[in-house]
Every structure is written in C-alpha cells, then in structure tokens.
Amino acid sequence: MARGISFTEHNVDRTPLGEPGTRKAGALDLAKGVKWIWVKWGKAIIHKNLESEPISPGDLRRYLIHEDGMMRVPVLILGDTLIRGYLPDMYEQVLSGFQSR
C-alpha cells in the first residue's frame, strides 16, 4: 500500500506478460475491460472513454507495445482505468478523480 492505495506490482522485466511469442497479446490483455484510457504520447496526453470513443486495435498496440514487441511502461490499471506513461500531473488528475468515484 502506498499513500493509502493498495496495489499489486508486476515487473514485466522479471516476469513478462504472456507466453514467449505472445507477449503482445499479454500486454493487450491488460486493456480488456477498461473503460478509460490515459496515455502519455510524446508531449501529448490522450484521454478517452473507450465506450464512447473506441480506439482501433492498431492504436492500442502503438500505445502499449514498442516496435520490438516489449510493453511500454509504466502501466497502471486502477479499476476501469488504464494509464500508460508517467507525468505527475496526469497521475494526480486521474487518481483524484478515482478517489471521488
């Protein structure tokens, strides 16, 4: 638990998601069932409600997986929200909204 929020850590360097040869599928499985996605993409932040603004499988792959097949990190999944990338302001905004739900 950190700052009152319980979490489970999964270090993908030590224990990659998915079976060898299926790592992309393992990383993409993280997005199944999420309603909201926040992605740091270059200098931009992409924020979408996937129920009203679905994204293509190709875009999801680009947001979560490097060209070499490894997952882009960090990824935080909190309830129905997936956050990829780290910007303190983005985390603060998402986490404060989550706590108010």
Per DSSP bridges, beta strands 44-49 and 36-41 are antiparallel
In this prediction, residue 70 carries a pLDDT of 77
- Phi then psi for residue 37, to 5 deg, are -135, 135
What would the pLDDT profile of 37-96 be if each residue is shown by its tens digit?
A: 999 998 899 999 999 999 998 999 899 888 877 788 888 888 899 999 988 888 888 888
User: Is 80 exceeded by the pLDDT of residue 13?
Assistant: no
Global pTM reads 0.76
